[in-house]
A and B are shown apart, each in its own frame.
Chain A
């Protein structure tokens, strides 16, 4: 099935102890309005729970929201769990409060893009559309 006939499926995930979900919820709704299928995990999901949900929901992209500074611990683990379970092409993107110096390392660990505060939701939708892998 080609991508054009199948809606892009995105898991919006909120790992860690932080409860600030304004961003996650705004993104979830904006991506839905942009024509994607969005599943929101709810709060306080472990990397294991997020990877399991990504597999079960067969998503094309995982959008992770972290504002607490725990991204260096949580993001690489989410990526490696996804890869371990065979989701080699699933796009992982991160939004939140992330210092510039952490960005190269996160990208090296497999996070496709990091969106900082102030990013337009349309830019995020565009990035996902242009970077998810075509389904066979």
Chain B
């Protein structure tokens, strides 16, 4: 068959005058400027000219090969799908244990623990400061006894568990290891991730305890301990998620997170750790926000930047050391109270961005999370969202399907350049610890948050159901999860039993030992593990470290 002529293809157009075949004056655009959710300008069209400076082999390349722009595995999701890891935790350890088992039974492939605010801040359930907060934003864990209940019937050698805990991370890691040990699991075989990213606490999430440099020392202690004793465990998840939620742009999220990563590597090297042994176990955690292409470009840029930084700044030789692995969570901040079912759609689009960006694991938020912690029904739908993307949409059939797009490649390179400019500014301040002490990232994020709010109120950015398409009488009633004060009472009862049964003398001896280790600048992990074994509480262990390190006071920013 002969190829069709242009006249045949265009059909009826050929009957019109030649002039009208092409728009001589393009239709005016709907608005003056088109911006991403980060308020970054987007061009009308991207063409080969936008990527003419990009060298394919060295900058885009092949999945599984340096600089890993297209992914760290040659086979992508054809080899292994991402881990579907739903962040869950509420109420008592019993309740959360039940949710874990429910999600696992429905096809979830990894666990992720959300702790409540007292746990995140290192206070026991019976502390006066814990009043009104126990079990509210996550599960309450005060001592090893709670952790034993939390993982009851869950084989820690078989399942990977991620723990969102930062200031008291070393203590929760110790509890996890002791529970694993009691189950008969081999530390050399267990795997999982500790968030343990204290820098982003000072920058964005603000759940700190100790002054920044002492807190960094605790992080390095866990690196060293895990490298030697729990080699398959990721002792840190360097997190942009919270930085983004606090109001950062996509670029700021990328830049501050990777610069935090560099800071941890530098501190690890200064403590004498072996680059090629500890860096491969540093993992990352990014947000998946609304602006689809901007997010995809962010993940791709992250991999390329990390690979180059590891090679050029640190002289890494091993490929594993240069490969950035990351978890993604959809943007909690994007969820709306108004017309909550709309959130189902937002989450699906955000999750798709994470997948097309090549995430290793994914949490999809639930539609009811602007109202409360998710119900079973809502949590199940968000897991199903991932399963539909993975097994129905076809996007997992080929690796990095957006690679080569003029827009996506141009944006990836723009993100990389923007991040490198931030690195220069932070390096000039002396590093990330110094930049945080000066309030630099905090101010940058605060400014972006305010500019976004202004854009929203000016109608330059749209949130469906909030500043456009509002409904006065909403028809959807969403059932929500209620956690009452009886949770605290339940937790205090178990704590009282623990205090009655344990060897008080042994507890005070191990706490003294921990203070001495902290004072001497030794690794605090062995003494922390001993303290946990004796059922010293989280609050007691954190107090012992506070005695030595003091507490952080936020500078006025």
Binds B, one of A1-9, A86-94, A103-111, A118-126: A118-126
Whether, in the assembled complex, B318 has its beta carbon less than 8 Å from a beta carbon of chain A, the answer is no
B42 contacts the other chain (CB 8 A): no
Q: A73 vs B418: C-alpha distance in the bound complex, in angstroms?
A: 45
B121 at the A interface (CB under 8 A)? yes
- When A17-B121, A117-B337, A118-B337 are in contact, do A72 and B457 touch as well, CB less than 8 Å? no
Q: Does A42 contact B (CB under 8 A)?
A: yes
B132 at the interface (CB under 8 A from A): yes
| Bitwise interface map of B from 89 to 133 toward A, beta carbon under 8 Å scored 1, else 0 | 000000000000000000000000000011011010000011111
In contact, A74 and B245 (Cβ under 8 angstroms): no
The 8 A CB mask of B318-350 against A (1 = contact, 0 = none) is 000000000000000100111000000000000
How far apart sit A116 and B339, CA to CA, in the bound complex (Å)? Answer: 13
- Minimum C-beta distance from A79 to chain B (A): 15
**Closest residue on chain A to residue B372 by CB atoms:** A99
Interface window among B25-33, B49-57, B253-261, B446-454: B446-454
Q: Give the residues in chain B near A68, CB-CB below 8 Å.
A: 117, 133, 136-137
Say if the beta carbon of A16 comes within 8 Å of chain B: yes
Q: Does the CB pair B337–A17 fall under 8 Å?
A: no
State in angstroms the CA–CA spacing of A19 and B167 once bound together.
13
Expressed in whole angstroms, the Cα–Cα distance for A122 and B118 within the complex equals 34
Cβ contact within 8 Å between B118 and A19: no
Q: Is the CB of A97 within 8 A of B371?
A: yes
- Closest CB in chain A relative to B204 CB, distance in Å: 9
- Residue A52 lies at the interface, judged by CB distance under 8 Å to chain B: no
**Does B417 make an interface contact (CB < 8 A)?**
no
Q: Which residue of B lies closest to A123 (CB)?
A: B457
B15-34 with Cβ < 8 A to chain A: none
C-beta contact mask, B360-388 vs A, less than 8 Å → 1, else 0?
Answer: 00000000001110000000000000000
- A-B pairs with beta carbons under 8 A, tally: 84
**Is there a chain B Cβ closer than 8 Å to A30's Cβ?**
yes
Q: Check if B36 is an interface residue, CB within 8 A of chain A.
A: no
Residues of B within 8 A of A43 (CB): 206, 554
Known: A16-B117, A17-B123, A30-B453. A117 touches B370 (CB 8 A): yes
Does B206 lie within 8 Å of A19, measured CB to CB?
yes
CB distance from B27 to the nearest CB of A (A): 32
B271 within 8 A of A: no
Beyond A26-B450, A43-B554, is A19–B132 a contact (Cβ under 8 Å)? no
CB distance from A49 to the nearest CB of B (A): 12
Give the residues from 56 to 113 in chain A that come closer than 8 angstroms, CB to CB, to chain B.
Answer: 68-70, 72-74, 97, 99
Cα of A99 to Cα of B123 in the assembled complex, Å: 26
Chain A's closest residue to B207 (CB) is A19
Instruction: Enumerate A3-34 residues with CB–CB distance to B below 8 Å.
Output: 16-22, 25-26, 29-30
B455 within 8 A of A: no
B268 on the A face (CB < 8 A): no
Give the CA-CA distance A16 to B206 in the complex, in Å: 13
Q: Which of A16, A18, A30 has the most CB of B within 10 A?
A: A18
A73 & B131 in contact (Cβ 8 Å cutoff) = yes
- Cβ contacts under 8 Å, A21 to chain B: 206, 246
Contact of B206 among A20, A29, A122 (CB under 8 A): A20
Interface size class of B (residues with CB under 8 A): 35 or more
User: CB-CB < 8 A to A118: which residues of B?
Assistant: 336-338, 463, 466-467
Q: Flag whether B482 is at the interface (Cβ < 8 A).
A: yes
A118 to B338, CA, bound (A): 8
B70 CB to nearest A CB, Å: 34
Q: Which residues of B lie under 8 Å from residue A29 when comparing CB positions?
A: 450
Closest to B447 in A: A29
Bound CA–CA A90/B466 (angstroms):
30
Expressed in whole angstroms, the minimum distance between the Cβ of B364 and any Cβ of chain A is 19
Q: Contacts A68-B117, A70-B136 hold; do A117 and B450 have CB atoms under 8 A apart? A: no
Residues of A contacting B247 with CB < 8 Å? 22, 26
Tell me, rounded to whole Å, the shortest Cβ–Cβ distance linking B128 to chain A: 9
Let me know if B483 is at the binding interface, CB within 8 A. Answer: yes
Residues of B within 8 A of A19 (CB): 201, 205-208
A122 touches B117 (CB 8 A): no
Interfacial chain A residues near B136, Cβ < 8 Å: 68-70
**B contact residues around A70 at 8 Å (CB):** 132-133, 136
| A17 x B133 contact (CB < 8 A) | yes
In the complex where A68-B136, A69-B136, A117-B370 touch, is A99 in contact with B480 (Cβ < 8 A)?
yes
B449 touches A26 (CB 8 A): yes
A121–B457 contact, CB under 8 A? yes
Residue contact A18 to B117, C-beta cutoff 8 Å: yes
> Quick one: which of B121, B206, B245, B372 contacts A69, CB cutoff 8 A?
B372
CA distance A43 to B207 in the complex (A): 10
CB distance from B248 to the nearest CB of A (A): 10
- Tell me the complex Cα distance, A122–B453, Å: 11
For residue B444, give the distance in angstroms from its CB to the closest CB of chain A. 13
When distances are taken between beta carbons in the complex, the residues of chain A under 8 Å from B206 are 19-21, 43
Give bound CA distance, A74 to B457, whole Å: 30
CB of A97 within 8 A of CB of B372, answer yes
**Which residues of chain A are near B131, meaning CB under 8 Å?**
73
- In the assembled complex, the CB of B2 is this many whole angstroms from the nearest CB of chain A, namely 59
Q: From A25, A74, A99, A120, give the contact of B132 (CB < 8 A).
A: A74
The residue in chain A whose Cβ has the minimal distance to the Cβ of B138 is A68
Of A17, A30, A69, A117, the residue contacting B118 (CB under 8 A) is A17
From B129, B338, B466, B485, A17 is in contact (CB under 8 Å) with: B129
A69 to B463 CA separation, bound complex (whole angstroms): 24
Interchain CA distance A89-B371 in the complex, whole Å: 30
Give A116 to B333 CA distance when docked, in angstroms: 13
Beyond A21-B206, A22-B333, A99-B482, 18 additional pairs, beta carbon < 8 A: A16-B133, A17-B123, A17-B133, A19-B207, A20-B206, A20-B246, A26-B453, A43-B206, A68-B117, A68-B137, A69-B483, A70-B132, A70-B136, A99-B480, A117-B337, A118-B336, A121-B453, A121-B457
A–B pairs, 11, beta carbons within 8 Å: A17-B123, A19-B207, A19-B208, A21-B246, A26-B450, A43-B206, A68-B117, A73-B132, A120-B467, A121-B453, A121-B457
By a beta-carbon cutoff of 8 Å, the part of chain A in contact with chain B is 16-22, 25-26, 29-30, 42-43, 68-70, 72-74, 97, 99, 116-118, 120-122
Which 5 interchain pairs have the tightest Cβ spacing?
A19-B206, A73-B132, A70-B132, A17-B117, A69-B136
